[in-house]
Amino acid sequence: MRLLMLGGTEFVGRAITEDALTRGWDVTVFHRGRHEPPGGVRSLHGDRTAEDGLKALEDGEWDAVLDTWSGAPSAVRDTARLLSRAGRYVYISSRSVYRFPTSVGVDEGADVVDGSPDAGDVDYPAAKRGGELAALDVFGDRALLVRAGLILGPYENIGRLPWWLKRIAQGGEVLAPGPRDTGLQYIDVRDLAIWTLDAIEQGLSGPYNLVSPPAHTTMDELLQACVQVTGSDAALVWTPPETILEAGIQPWTDLPIWLPPGEDHDTLHGANVSKALSTGLRCRPVQETVADTWAWLQSIGGQAPQRPDRPAVGLAPGKEAEVLRG
């Protein structure tokens, strides 16, 4: 299988590239040259936002193109048009394309936000929807839309799970947001990679929610796994969501991954994934995701990379201490 990976050097793109290589696929990685791609790929350089930035892609034949772009949809449009000769186009989209809020159990037929393949810089939901439309406009039923949810695992460059691991590794009392049995729905980046490449082999098309089943794990199981793999003496201090919110602590950003019960939680952690499960999606246990992310962090010196277009996450130590003091 000849795969053109647009990106392929960080997080999702890297995990997919590495899995494709283990399958013996012929992988070409198109990137800006800021990070080294995995060994064993053919490397092409270019910047999709620059004039003539796609010149390196004017020649070449590929069975599938895989695109993780989350910026201006017009970049997906231009790339898809240039690569219309390829067999398939896989766009890593997001469940953010659904209109907020969504109720528990919604599937791929839920209403989506407005978007345009010709749009420039727009907000994240509109960017991903515009990217979907750009892929569909050119490839039609040869386009696969992977609507991922929360993504965790090795190579994470957003900082969510790395922040929890580093904070718990420091030890002491740790503010743990309740309820402790809050269900979490996420996808390990390697499980996303496996399903996506399997889907290419199966010739799947159209949209798929790609995330674990609801309540695949809980906040308690996630944080306990962090304690276990780090060997920390951390004591989790479970705190009601009301106390956390009254202190001005922001869910999702100050306390990554966590959302209190309500519309936000239902939207993010209540998706129907029966379509993906019926086509082979398998999700590894949270303990494995946490352990492998910690091992990766240790292997790179403990400092996770940070995407420049995303804000850093995590709770300030002073604010945590204030709430713990009561």
DSSP structure string for 152-200: ESTT-SS-HHHHHHHHHHT-SEEEEES-TT-EE-EEEHHHHHHHHHHHH
Considering the domain 2-148, what is its CATH architecture?
Answer: 3-Layer(aba) Sandwich (3.40)
H or E element, residue 190: helix 189-202
The pLDDT assigned to 308 comes to: 87
Tokens of 137: 């406009």
Confidence at 215, pLDDT banded by 50, 70, 90 = very high
**pLDDT confidence band for 83 (50 / 70 / 90):** very high
Spans of all domains in the chain: 2-148, 155-185+213-271+284-325
* Pairing verdict, β 255-256 and 251-252: parallel
User: Do residues 63 and 4 lie in contact, with contact meaning Cβ atoms separated by under 8 Å?
Assistant: no
Q: What does the pLDDT read at residue 131?
A: 98
Measured CA to CA, the distance from residue 164 to residue 179 in angstroms comes to: 17
**Residue 278: is its pLDDT beyond 90?**
yes
Residue 100 clears pLDDT 90, i.e. is over it: yes
| Each residue's pLDDT tens digit, 169-188 | 999 999 999 999 999 999 99
Has residue 309 got a pLDDT over 90? no
Looking at 3.40.640.10, 3.90.25.10, 3.40.190.170, 1.10.2020.10, the CATH number of the domain 155-185+213-271+284-325 comes to 3.90.25.10
Interior/surface letters 93-105, b for 16+ CB within 10 angstroms, e for the rest:
bbbbbbeeebeee
Residue 326, pLDDT score: 85
- Tens-place pLDDT, residues 222-233: 999 999 999 999
What does DSSP say about strands 64-67 and 255-256: parallel, antiparallel, or unpaired?
Answer: unpaired
Burial (CB count <10 Å: 0-12, 13-18, 19+), residue 323: middle
Angle at 157 between CA 310 and CA 162, to 5 degrees: 110
pLDDT confidence tier of residue 221, bands split at 50, 70 and 90: very high
pLDDT bucket at 207, cuts 50 / 70 / 90: very high
Half-sphere CA count of 157, side-chain side, radius 13 A: 15
Mean pLDDT of 7-19: 96
Neighbours of 248 (CB within 10 A): 10
pLDDT tens digits for 123-147?
999 999 999 999 999 999 999 999 9
Arithmetic mean of pLDDT over the chain: 97
